[in-house]
Amino acid sequence: MRAKWVPFAFLAPALLGLFLFRAVPILLALGGGFTGTGLTGETSFQGFDNYTSLASDPEFWNSVRVTLVFNLIINPLQVVLAFLLALLMAKPGRGVGALRTAVLLPITVSIALTSVMWNLLLDPAVGPVNGLLRSFGLAAQPFFHSQGQALPSLIAICTWRGVGYWMFFMLGGLSAIPPEVNEAASIDGAGPWRRLWHITLPLMRRSFGFVLIADTAANFLLFAPVYIITAGGPDGSTSLLMFEAYRAAFTLLDNGRSLAISTVILLIVAAVATLELRFFRADDVA
């Protein structure tokens, strides 16, 4: 009952934009992973050379490991915390709007500035956080300067910044649940835990799916804090893949290697996202 072109009319402007400003550059970048660049700029086809050299590079595998560990922790952590926060802040009330905004404010600080700021706050010598610890008689912590604490500190500052932001997406999902559904269930005698588990959560699957996928993409692509604070250390403990790609391009001046690593990131994120999509059946379209 509709003309064949109608869906494409709706899609056209956005797809044009994505094609021009994403698809074409991405394809070029993917192709670039198979090339090497000579000193004076000539690119030459090198097949899988970049990939084989990555496969035999222990630093690359260390990055893969660190990145996977980082993401396995931070993504579920942030999604769950965002949901809990949303539950806490869902009910309207005096000043709740201001409290929600307060919790969300950290996202307005750019990731670069967040890194600079926390680098100072957690500084072993002049940081107020250690100052606070010292005044309680506790030992000052090395935070970003210790192999054991660097990655957890990274997770902490990213969570500080992001959790209020993701909470908003969860709030949107919660607000779409008609209150009658919960009321009916509680009249039927269902306690708060049962209502949460059997009614709220299933109705939140799209929100969970969206937040998890968006957050996964953002965290796999993260590198600014590593670049600004830790330079991948100490001893490679914060060497995220994206940082390695950046380093390959701008320090080792090896474009081919950088693009190969970026391709690996894309493949991993796509694979993880597909799993997440399947799990939450959040795609509705596949």
Minimum CB–partner distance for residue 242 and other proteins (Å): 6
Select 13 or 189, whichever has its Cβ closest to other proteins. 13
Considering only 34, 51, 70, 246, the residue that binds other proteins (CB under 8 A) is: 246
Of 44-52, 61-69, 70-78, 246-254, which part binds other proteins (CB under 8 A)? Answer: 246-254
Considering only 69, 184, 270, 275, the residue that binds other proteins (CB under 8 A) is: 270
Tell me the residue type at 64: V
199 binds other proteins (CB under 8 A): no
Q: How far is CA 26 from the centre of its chain?
A: 19
**How far apart (Å, rounded) are the C-alpha atoms in residues 91 and 112?**
34
Q: How far is CA 272 from the centre of its chain?
A: 12
Of 43-51, 68-76, 193-201, 258-266, which part binds other proteins (CB under 8 A)? Answer: 258-266
The tokens describing 38, both together, are: 């000579």
**How far apart (Å, rounded) are the C-alpha atoms in residues 48 and 33?**
8
**How far apart (Å, rounded) are the C-alpha atoms in residues 216 and 270?**
10
The tokens describing 277, both together, are: 């999509």
Determine what percent of the chain falls in helix, strand and coil, rounding each to the nearest 5.
70, 0, 25
Select 73 or 109, whichever has its Cβ closest to other proteins. 109
Q: Which of residues 174-193 bind other proteins (CB under 8 A)?
A: 175-176, 179, 182
- Asked if 161 and 107 touch (Cβ cutoff 8 Å), the reply is yes
What are the two backbone dihedrals, phi and then psi, of residue 273, each rounded to the nearest 5 degrees? -65, -40
162 binds other proteins (CB under 8 A): no
The tokens describing 122, both together, are: 């957690």
Considering only 44, 58, 135, 188, the residue that binds other proteins (CB under 8 A) is: 135
275 binds other proteins (CB under 8 A): no
**How far apart (Å, rounded) are the C-alpha atoms in residues 154 and 140?**
18
Select 69 or 270, whichever has its Cβ closest to other proteins. 270
106 binds other proteins (CB under 8 A): yes
221 binds other proteins (CB under 8 A): yes
Total residues binding other proteins (CB under 8 A)? 118
Contacts 24+ apart (CB under 8 A), 63-69: 63/236, 63/239, 63/240, 63/241, 63/243, 63/244, 64/241, 64/264, 66/151, 66/236, 66/237, 66/238, 66/239, 66/240, 67/220, 67/240, 67/241, 67/242, 67/268, 69/151
286 binds other proteins (CB under 8 A): yes
Q: Which of residues 3-22 bind other proteins (CB under 8 A)?
A: 4, 6-8, 10-11, 13-18, 20-22
Select 151 or 282, whichever has its Cβ closest to other proteins. 282
266 binds other proteins (CB under 8 A): yes
Minimum CB–partner distance for residue 197 and other proteins (Å): 18
DSSP 23: I
Of 39-47, 64-72, 194-202, which part binds other proteins (CB under 8 A)? Answer: 39-47
226 binds other proteins (CB under 8 A): no
Considering only 124, 190, 195, 196, the residue that binds other proteins (CB under 8 A) is: 124
220 binds other proteins (CB under 8 A): yes
